[in-house]
Amino acid sequence: MTKPRKDRQVKSPPFIVFFKPQGIPLVQLEQVILTVDEYEAIRLADWEELKHDEAASKMKISRPTFTRLLNTAHKKISDALVNGKAIRIEGGNYILLYNRFYCQNCNYIWNLKQGQSLPLVCPECGNTNIVNLSLQCGHGRGRKGWRHRGGSF
Ligand SMILES: [Zn+2]
């Protein structure tokens, strides 16, 4: 029996989940899929500049597992940069500590701890035009329109 892969703890989903080289039609582009746990490794090690053991404990994984995850993420991003591929952040083994919301009216972004009830209005402007960013990267069903052209829905 194979050991089930342990979910990696991720603080909150990324705001942007698709990056595309300028000037190349989408249909001609190859894509690199960066998983949400790989994104979190990049965020903790490269953006927040945490040491690997600190970042590993935030994600509830071992330091060697964290280092492997980060190496895979770097390899994928370098593939996109060197070979001119798009990057999509999607899927992976992870659980979110926070859901993240975006107000399309005033651009306000905020986090709510998992388990808290979903907001109906933006806390800044009161508008109801809000998006749950957690749905963009493979948790539950994505909202319509985020999948790339040529996708199957
Ligand atoms: Zn708002």
Per residue in 36-46, pLDDT (tens digit) is 999 999 999 99
Percent of the chain exceeding pLDDT 90 equals 71
Beta bridge pairs of residue 94: 8
Rounded to whole angstroms, the Cα distance separating 153 from 120 reads 27
Residue 117: what pLDDT? 85
Q: What is the pLDDT of residue 19?
A: 95
CB 88 within 8 A of CB 26: no
| Ligand 1 centroid from CA 132, angstroms | 13
Q: From the CA of 57, how far away is ligand 1's center (Å)? A: 34
Distance from the alpha carbon of residue 41 to the mean position of ligand 1, in angstroms: 30
Which pLDDT belongs to residue 1? 58
**Res 26: pLDDT:** 87
Domains of the chain and any CATH numbers: 8-137 (2.20.28.10)
Helices (H) and strands (E) in the chain, counts: 3, 8
State in Å: Cα 104 to ligand 1 middle: 7
**What parts of the chain have a pLDDT lower than 50?**
140-153
**H or E element, residue 103:** strand 98-103
pTM: 0.81
- CA of 42 relative to ligand 1 center, distance in Å: 29
| pLDDT given for residue 144 in this prediction | 34
The predicted-structure confidence for 114-144, as pLDDT tens digits, reads as follows 888 888 999 999 999 999 988 888 753 333 3
